[in-house]
Structure 1
Amino acid sequence: MPGWIEIAIRSFTLLIVLFFLTKWLGKKQISQLNIFEYISGIVLGGIVAIHSIDTEANIVYGLIAMFVWFIIPFAVEYFSLKSKSFRNFSQGRSTVFIQDGKIMEDNLKKEGYSTDDLLEKLRDNNVFLASDVEFAVLEPSGTLSVLPKKENQPLTAKDLGLKLAPEKEPQTVVMDGKVLLEPLANLSLNTNWLETELDKMNVSIENVFLGQADNNGQLTIDLYDDKIAVPSPTEAPLLLATMKKCQADLELFALATENEEVKRMYEENSKKMQQAVDKVMPYLKE
């Protein structure tokens, strides 16, 4: 067998094995690595590289070595889930860098961080003044978690005493010109609704590159042809405007009539409509 063919076969085989080993180790292995996962990742990559290009190396030995370096991190991860002390030993512990607005210089030195390193990490969290930080901790993965002081935190609806309607995540209902039935069902919608909404926009499903719907039943789309302008969804604002108009009309009717009984009827219905508007406002307001 020619050498280049053997190298190609060995590389492909080891790549497939490495793919499944990494997949079995979990998504954590490819996101935020702790010390042990970092080491095992480097070693596994080295084993694959060596046994891919060295045709004299026994590929079986390479597979055995990969299996060993798969079992060890897998076992460490398993025992880490069972024991907090073992997890602290294998993955490390968090280190507090700023507490109660005060920088912990001894902890910085312990982790080998300079003042410049700390400021760089703070800038990564969009914080440019250390005095703006109430608490900061270095995670075992190497990321710095930052809690700004209360006066430097952005306002939330809770701070303002506002009650907002619950909102579910939007669903992608059209992708690459094809309808996705499961996301539609998650929103309690169907293909008839989708076709109706696209008809309103004068668009066919085949021309839709991406279509997403929210829990209010509003559809937003992106077309293959970027030169075609697509109108923004207006269902919710129109419904709210219509309800407000009805309430205003009822008030006008009450003022226009001289019949006391009819006037009371218009006024009562106007109040009921206003109550309905107040209830649906969080759901329909843009």
Structure 2
Amino acid sequence: MPDWIHIVWKSLTAIILMFLLTRFLLGNRQISELNYFQYIVGITIGSLAGFSSINIMNWSSGLIALIVWAFVAYLIEMLLLKSKKIRDVMEGKGTILIKEGKILEDNMKSVKYNTDDLLSQLRKKNAFKVADVEFAVLETSGDLSVLLKRENLPITAQHLGMKLPNEQEPQTVIMDGNVINEPLATIGLNREWLHTELEKIGVTIENVFLAQVDNYGELYVDLYDDQLKIPEPQQRAILLSTLKKCAADLELFCLSTENEAAKQMYEQSLMKMNKMISRLKPLLQ
């Protein structure tokens, strides 16, 4: 058998074996999350795989070395899972670069981090001013974790005392001009509803590149023809306007009646309506 055929099938075998070994060892871990030992193992396994695929005489020796390295790496991974001390030795610890708003220059020197590196990583975290940062730590993966000062943190619904429902994953109901039935059924809708919503905005299914339905039942549509403008969904705005109109009607009834019992009933209903509007307003705006 010609040597090139040996090299082809040995290369394919080495590739498959290397893929299985690295997939087994690393799982879904990203390249940036590898520790030093895993990085060394990755380089060595790649070198051994390349050596095994082109060395016709000692192919089995290369595969044995490949399996030994993978087995050792597996044992190290098991130790890392069970011992924090070993993790600290193998993976290292995070290094604080900013504490209480002050840059720690000595810590930056210890991890060979310069000012440009720090500013670049801060910008990636939307922190363009060092003065806005309370705490920053360089993780062992090389990523910079940033905590902004309290006055610079974005306002959330919790800060405003509002309770919002849990968000649900939007369902893709049209893709590449084809209706997908399963997501429609998941949210309790059907094709008739979809056709009705598309007719409201004057769009045919064939012209829809992508369509999604959110947990409020609103339909987002992206068309093949980017020149066409689609009106924004108005269901929530219409509902809010209707609720406000009901509240205005209740107030009008309350002012126009002279019956004390009816006035009291309208006042109580108006209070309930205003309370409901205040709770729903963040969701409907």
TM-score bracket relative to the smaller structure? 0.7 to 0.9
Aligned to 1:171: 170
Q: Work out the number of aligned pairs and report it.
A: 281
| Pairwise CA distance, 1:97 | 2.0
How far apart, CA to CA, are the structure 2 residues paired with 1:101 and 1:48?
A: 49
Aligned to 2:139: 139
Task: Report the residue type matching 1:167 in the other structure.
Answer: N
Q: TM-score, normalised by structure 1?
A: 0.79
Q: Is the 8 A contact 1:178 1:206 kept in 2?
A: no
Aligned to 1:283: 283
Q: Is the 8 A contact 1:40 1:73 kept in 2?
A: yes
How far apart, CA to CA, are the structure 1 residues paired with 2:204 and 2:65?
A: 55
Aligned to 2:33: 32
- Residue 211 of structure 1 pairs with residue 225 of structure 2: no
Secondary structure, counterpart of 1:28 in structure 2: coil
Q: TM-score, normalised by structure 2?
A: 0.80
Runs of at least 5 residues in structure 2 that lack an aligned partner in the other structure: none
What is the aligned-residue identity percentage?
47
Secondary structure, counterpart of 1:222 in structure 2: strand
**Cα distance 1:270–1:104, how it changes in 2: closer, same or farther (>3 A)?**
closer
Task: Report the residue type matching 2:83 in the other structure.
Answer: S
Aligned to 2:104: 104
| Pairwise CA distance, 1:222 | 1.7
| Pairwise CA distance, 1:80 | 1.2
Aligned to 2:72: 72
Aligned to 2:148: 148
**Cα distance 1:248–1:100, how it changes in 2: closer, same or farther (>3 A)?**
same
Q: Is the 8 A contact 2:32 2:142 kept in 1?
A: no
Matches within 5 A, 1:2-151: 7-24=7-24, 25-52=26-53, 54=54, 56=56, 58-151=58-151
Q: Is the 8 A contact 1:171 1:213 kept in 2?
A: yes
| Pairwise CA distance, 1:208 | 3.3
| Pairwise CA distance, 1:84 | 0.6
**Cα distance 1:86–1:128, how it changes in 2: closer, same or farther (>3 A)?**
same
- The one-character-per-residue Cα deviations of 1:158-187 (angstroms, maximum 9, x if unpaired) are 34x3314133143232333341625852xx
How far apart, CA to CA, are the structure 1 residues paired with 2:154 and 2:273?
A: 35
Task: Report the residue type matching 1:191 in the other structure.
Answer: N
| Pairwise CA distance, 1:140 | 0.9
Q: Is the 8 A contact 2:52 2:60 kept in 1?
A: no
Aligned to 2:232: 232
Matches within 5 A, 1:240-259: 240-257=240-257
Q: Is the 8 A contact 1:255 1:263 kept in 2?
A: yes
Query: How large is the Cα RMSD of the aligned pairs?
Result: 3.2
Q: Is the 8 A contact 1:36 1:90 kept in 2?
A: yes
Task: Report the residue type matching 1:220 in the other structure.
Answer: Y
Aligned to 2:273: 273
**Cα distance 1:283–1:153, how it changes in 2: closer, same or farther (>3 A)?**
closer
